[in-house]
Structure 1
Amino acid sequence: MNQSVLMGLRMTLTMGTLVVFTLLLLQYRYSRKVTARAVSLFTIVVALINLIIMKKMGYVPYSKVMPLTATAPYLILYLFLSAYRDLRLVFAVVTVYSFGLADMGIGGSISAVFFGSDVAIDLFFRMLAFIPIGLFILFYFRKPYMRMLHQMKSGWLIFCAFPLLFYAAFYFTSIYPVILHERPENAAILLCLIGLLFIVYAMLVQFFQFYLDHVEEMQNMELLSSKVSALRDQLEAINNGQEYRERSADCSLAAVKTMIESGDTEAALRFLQQRQAQSDVPLAQYCQNSILNVILSFYLERAKAEGITVKADLRIPEDLPIDALELSAVLTSAIENAIHACLKIPDRAERRLEISCYTSPRFVFEVANTYAGEIVMDENSVPVPPETGPDIATRSINAFVQKYRALADYDLSDGMFRVRVALLDLEGVGEADNERVD
């Protein structure tokens, strides 16, 4: 094949590689379709200009200025397309270039050492190397990197240091003062640099994941704390309401006494009948713990009012080794999820909610409910959050699990979704208190 044609194909492959890596790593402000069209059109223009420059200068002189003529124009494009215009953009740019150079370096090194700088061989191994590099970006690096872009707005300068150093080392190893084909002894050094590049980016992924897990843990703790605060306010409101009813009852008794003393017994009877009709339903008794009982009664009676069959077996003593409000926060979040799932079932007879809690020999609680449709689990058997927003129950459970070093288990069996949490190091609260309240 004509040498100039092979050179043109190699240039096209270089530009195409940059296009793919750009689309994978750039957080763009426009739609994917608009961005793909803009990048493709821009790449065609830049490739044509570089082909003209290469034809005028010759390949060897052109290869020394190629890092500038082939990559610098993309800085303008990235500024136009990127959702960020700070150091996160700089990191994206140098990362795209680094992976592009890695692809170029693998093909060039193999060709220079084993095949005497054959352009066709160089082209073949570049195409071959593109596959694992692309898979590394797509399935390993991209997801935590994209999440990191949203979570971390500063500190990206240090991340830019290594790809910039790699860029410089690549240039002086394989391009300047002479190209790699004229000094194949540098191929081993270049391949080591490329290997080091992937090691560093793998370490970055580990750091990203650690940072994101830490942020998620803090957010879950804040969520649990806010849930506990809301439940505390709710419990206070319930207690205030109870005090109000007691004061109201005292006033009612005084009014009845006055009516009877005045001889108006019929008026007293009518008044008592009205008060009986207006009185609240007595608080249901689900467990011995007063705080949990008040809060759980509110949610479980609400479930019954929605036509959901409720089965509760809560052997929770008054004294707990954990914070009662935090336990309430997790249980009520799971119960709310269960109620929402049950309400999606058209047949009211199929709506079931089961909740149980035991404190001996190990502290375990479970919330189970019937559901309609499909619940998707991820690779860790954890429910995938709905697209409409985060799963508050799952996040509350995660925060609880992290704080108390517990284990959470999600299960789909017998037509029911079950979430089960076990506290591993809180054994035997006491057999005497471990009694069921009927």
Structure 2
Amino acid sequence: MIATVIEFSRYFFALLFGAAVAVSFVGMHRTRKNYLVFGCFIAFLFIIQVITLKLFGMAVTLKIYPLLSHLPVAVFIVIFLKCSLLLSVTSVFASFLCCQFPRWMGSFVGGFFDSATINHASYVATVFLMYYFLQKYVVESVRHMMERSVKSCLMFGTIPAFYYLFDYVSTVHTDLMFSGSHVVVQFMPFIMSAFYFLFVLLYYSETQKQASIQRDRDMLYTQLHQAQTEFSSLRQMQQNAEAYRHDMRHHFILLQGMASQERIEEIQEYLQTAQSDLNNITPVRFCKNETVNLILSSFASKAKQSGILLTIDAKLPDSLTLSDTELCSLLSNALENALHACEKVANSNQRYIKLRVYSKNNKLCIDIRNSYQEEPIFHHGLPVSKEQGHGFGTKSMVNIVEKHGGIYQFSIKDGWFIFQATT
């Protein structure tokens, strides 16, 4: 009687362990509802398995066990947990692989004592230890790997899937594994090693690609942060100009005092200094949009200092669909790239930048063209910088345009490098 109870306990815990590991791999939330539904589901499957065992015997039950256990678990994950079929099937294959260690431990201990009951008891005990180990060290990593991308999930699930098929073909539906054939014995280690080698190569490639994407994302975030900082500086410059204008009465009082004493030279010197200070902190008005005025004022000053002729045609309303930081990042990066290219032109008389920005049908339209010294290199329609640490400004521009469903184009025509965008 006790031996029978232990034997059936093994079958129940094998079902429970495999299903629990599978749903853990796909990230089933630990809620009371989920535990209740999952528990009822396992109890139902176990009853079906017991009935099948009584009606058809162990040999038939083992052959159709995937239909009694693995397939229902996969369907449960898809329907109840709302996971994709790929995640569901991969998690079931992976959980089947995890079930093998308790089976081996049971066989080893049971064989040592020459007792089937000890085999079953050892299996049940190992199941609890194995489940704890998986939950603590494995489940989270497996879940992240499967959810990372379809390619990553396929790579991870290949070996468990192959082992699953090989095990049933060679031990359940045939006796190839126990036939003593050297081909069969050597086939499994070779295939596992080959799959492992391929997995390492593909996963390394995938990791490198993800790392590159993460670096680009970090650089784009840095670009946006710099745009926010620059925009704050421009705002501060505008506030300084307003404060300077507010203090004009104090300057007039001082000038009146100098005039009453007929200190003409000092008045002229003071006026020149005041005018220079005011010009340095006063943004030039190019259009109705204050944000654009601040950005263009800053770059007009930079262009002048670099000996670059910057012509601006700006016709924009007060408000645009882009946020101030996005607008600042888009225009600043475009103009920064144009300035950088013009500064390399050897002949200072051939350094030109032409900017046309306007609004049409509530869309922001940008046309920036500049002269250049070196012929730009394009890759997938984007200019590629040879210098280390450059090129992220272009990616930031493209990211902003695409975010708002706009279109863009980089091109070369008649000695001009041209960037055009509508967003």
Normalised TM-score (structure 1): 0.49
CA contact (8 A) 1:256 1:271 kept: no
Q: Higher helix proportion, which one?
A: 2
Displacement of 1:323 in angstroms is 1.7
Map 1:10-89 to 2 at 5 A. none
2:360 corresponds in structure 1 to: 360
The 1:194/1:375 distance shift into structure 2, 3 A limit, reads farther
CA–CA distance in structure 2, aligned partners of residues 402 and 201 of structure 1: 34
CA–CA distance in structure 2, aligned partners of residues 208 and 284 of structure 1: 49
Q: Which one-letter code corresponds to 2:261 in the other structure? A: D
1:304 corresponds in structure 2 to: 304
SS of 1:383's partner is: strand
1:394 corresponds in structure 2 to: 394
The alignment status of 1:178 with 2:181, answered yes or no, reads: yes
Q: Deviations over 1:154-180 (max 9, x none)?
A: 956987854654785799879995343
Displacement of 1:206 in angstroms is 11
Displacement of 1:196 in angstroms is 9.9
Map 1:54-133 to 2 at 5 A. none
CA contact (8 A) 1:409 1:419 kept: yes
CA contact (8 A) 2:312 2:354 kept: yes
The alignment status of 1:264 with 2:261, answered yes or no, reads: yes
1:113 corresponds in structure 2 to: none
The 1:388/1:211 distance shift into structure 2, 3 A limit, reads closer
CA contact (8 A) 1:228 1:325 kept: yes
CA–CA distance in structure 1, aligned partners of residues 406 and 200 of structure 2: 33
Q: Which one-letter code corresponds to 2:405 in the other structure? A: R
1:335 corresponds in structure 2 to: 335
The 1:203/1:402 distance shift into structure 2, 3 A limit, reads farther
Displacement of 1:284 in angstroms is 3.0
Higher relative contact order (CA 8 A, sep 6+): 1
Q: Deviations over 1:372-401 (max 9, x none)?
A: 1232111x2112243411423213213312
CA–CA distance in structure 2, aligned partners of residues 394 and 332 of structure 1: 11
Displacement of 1:207 in angstroms is 7.8
The 1:277/1:209 distance shift into structure 2, 3 A limit, reads same
The alignment status of 1:370 with 2:371, answered yes or no, reads: yes
2:126 corresponds in structure 1 to: none
CA contact (8 A) 1:310 1:352 kept: yes
Q: Which one-letter code corresponds to 1:251 in the other structure? A: H
SS of 2:313's partner is: strand
CA contact (8 A) 1:410 1:417 kept: yes
Return the index of the structure with the highest Cα Rg.
2
CA contact (8 A) 2:309 2:352 kept: yes
1:253 corresponds in structure 2 to: 252
SS of 1:318's partner is: coil
The 1:182/1:218 distance shift into structure 2, 3 A limit, reads closer
* More divergent stretch after superposition (345-354 vs 231-240): 231-240
CA contact (8 A) 2:357 2:366 kept: yes
2:317 corresponds in structure 1 to: 317
Number of aligned residue pairs: give it: 261
CA–CA distance in structure 1, aligned partners of residues 404 and 208 of structure 2: 22
The 1:382/1:259 distance shift into structure 2, 3 A limit, reads closer
CA contact (8 A) 2:231 2:295 kept: no
Displacement of 1:355 in angstroms is 1.1
Displacement of 1:366 in angstroms is 2.1
CA–CA distance in structure 2, aligned partners of residues 369 and 349 of structure 1: 13
CA–CA distance in structure 2, aligned partners of residues 221 and 341 of structure 1: 21
CA contact (8 A) 1:223 1:396 kept: no
Q: Where in structure 1 are there 5+ consecutive unaligned residues?
A: 1-151, 424-438
The 1:351/1:383 distance shift into structure 2, 3 A limit, reads same
Displacement of 1:249 in angstroms is 2.9
Displacement of 1:332 in angstroms is 1.1
SS of 1:314's partner is: strand
2:268 to 261, 269, 273: 273
* More divergent stretch after superposition (222-231 vs 287-296): 222-231
Q: Which one-letter code corresponds to 1:246 in the other structure? A: R
SS of 1:257's partner is: helix
The 1:165/1:370 distance shift into structure 2, 3 A limit, reads same
Q: Deviations over 1:286-318 (max 9, x none)?
A: 222122112211112321331212221111112
1:351 corresponds in structure 2 to: 351
2:25 corresponds in structure 1 to: none
CA–CA distance in structure 2, aligned partners of residues 166 and 175 of structure 1: 18
Q: Which one-letter code corresponds to 2:376 in the other structure? A: I
Q: Deviations over 1:408-437 (max 9, x none)?
A: 2111222222222211xxxxxxxxxxxxxx
Normalised TM-score (structure 2): 0.51
CA contact (8 A) 1:357 1:363 kept: yes
CA–CA distance in structure 1, aligned partners of residues 307 and 196 of structure 2: 60
Identity %: 18
The 1:198/1:169 distance shift into structure 2, 3 A limit, reads farther
The 1:203/1:421 distance shift into structure 2, 3 A limit, reads farther
1:384 corresponds in structure 2 to: 384
Displacement of 1:349 in angstroms is 1.8
SS of 2:225's partner is: helix
Displacement of 1:209 in angstroms is 9.8
CA–CA distance in structure 1, aligned partners of residues 360 and 401 of structure 2: 18
CA contact (8 A) 2:159 2:195 kept: no
CA contact (8 A) 1:370 1:417 kept: yes
The 1:201/1:356 distance shift into structure 2, 3 A limit, reads farther
Q: Which one-letter code corresponds to 2:225 in the other structure? A: S
CA contact (8 A) 1:333 1:392 kept: no
1:235 corresponds in structure 2 to: 234
2:84 corresponds in structure 1 to: none
> Over the residues paired in the alignment, what is the CA RMSD in angstroms?
4.4
CA–CA distance in structure 2, aligned partners of residues 207 and 407 of structure 1: 29
CA contact (8 A) 2:231 2:328 kept: no
